[in-house]
Structure 1
Amino acid sequence: MQTDIDPRSLIGRKAFDRNGTKIGTVDEVYLDDATGVPEWAALRTGLFSRDAFVPLEPSRLEDDTLRIPFEKSLIRDAPDFGVGRHLSPEQELQLYHHYGLHLPG
């Protein structure tokens, strides 16, 4: 995803899975501690007002929506750490493993 985008501009945008199915709306954006680059987004799924964390890389911003290259079921099963808190390194590791992503660096 673009790294020069203002993270606040993502808040409230609709998010869709790899098949074009709506997942929810971006509730919060989490920045990388070292670089300040947007790294994770918490999506309000509407399912019991739960938030699902998704990686912003390899997601794309397209036509004012966030396109996430994973299945809706995988996204909905992502660990929910609650919004408004800092993600710990252990929580980020859980998310990387959940999505089968390689750790940066």
Structure 2
Amino acid sequence: MIQSADVREWRDHDVVDAKGHKIGVLEAIYVDTTTDEPAVATVRTGLPTRQRLVFVPLDAAILGPDYLRVPYAKSMVRKAPSIGTDDVLPAEREEAIFQHYDMTYQPGGQGERQLARR
């Protein structure tokens, strides 16, 4: 598991898929609010004039010398839910991220968000 302190050091590094194809650049980390462990990253993709942030889980991510490798195909990540580079993830769109990757979404008992940006 990637530790919270380690992840901050990898901002602006390349994010690659299992085959080494570049997906984009690591922008931010969202932690699971129940464990405070890194859960999802946003990856900056697109043309310089039309960039967006796509979400990718960090459950099986591997750190390399200058990259973060995720076990998802580039095409799958690029189709994931996204936000603008200056936007914030709305609470009602969290579940769509988990559904895209066939993961279980579990908000808090009082309806709290599962993800928080760090």
* TM-score, normalised by the number of residues in structure 1: 0.81
| Partner of residue 17, structure 2 | 17
Residue 88 of structure 2 aligns with an amino acid whose one-letter code is: R
Deviation at 1:73, TM superposition (A): 0.8
Aligned to 2:113: none
Q: Give the aligned partner of residue 92 of structure 1.
A: 94
* Counterpart in the other structure of 1:27: 27
Based on CA coordinates, which of the two structures has the bigger radius of gyration? 2
Q: Using a 3 Å threshold, how does the CA distance of structure 1 residues 86 and 46 change in structure 2: closer, same or farther?
A: closer
| SS of structure 2 residue aligned to 1:94 | helix
Is 2:65 the partner of 1:63?
Answer: yes
- 2:86 is equivalent to residue 81 of structure 1: no
User: 2:56 matched to 1:54?
Assistant: yes
1:87 is displaced (CA, Å) by: 5.6
Distance 1:87 1:40 in 2: 15
Does the C-alpha gap of structure 1 residues 92 and 60 become closer, same or farther in structure 2, counting only changes over 3 Å?
Answer: farther
What is the total number of aligned residue pairs between the two structures? 103
Q: Normalization by structure 2: what TM-score? A: 0.73
Aligned AA for 2:22? K
For structure 1, the 5+ residue unaligned runs are none
**Paired residues of 1:10 and 1:29 also in contact (CA < 8 A):** no
**Percent identity (aligned):** 36
31 and 82 in structure 1: CA distance in 2 versus 1, 3 angstrom threshold:
farther
Give me the whole-angstrom Cα distance separating, in 2, the residues matched to 1:63 and 1:43.
18
Query: Which runs of 5 or more residues in structure 2 are unaligned?
Result: 107-118
**Which runs of at least 4 in structure 1 moved beyond 6 Å after TM superposition?**
none
Equivalent position amino acid for 2:9 in 1 = S
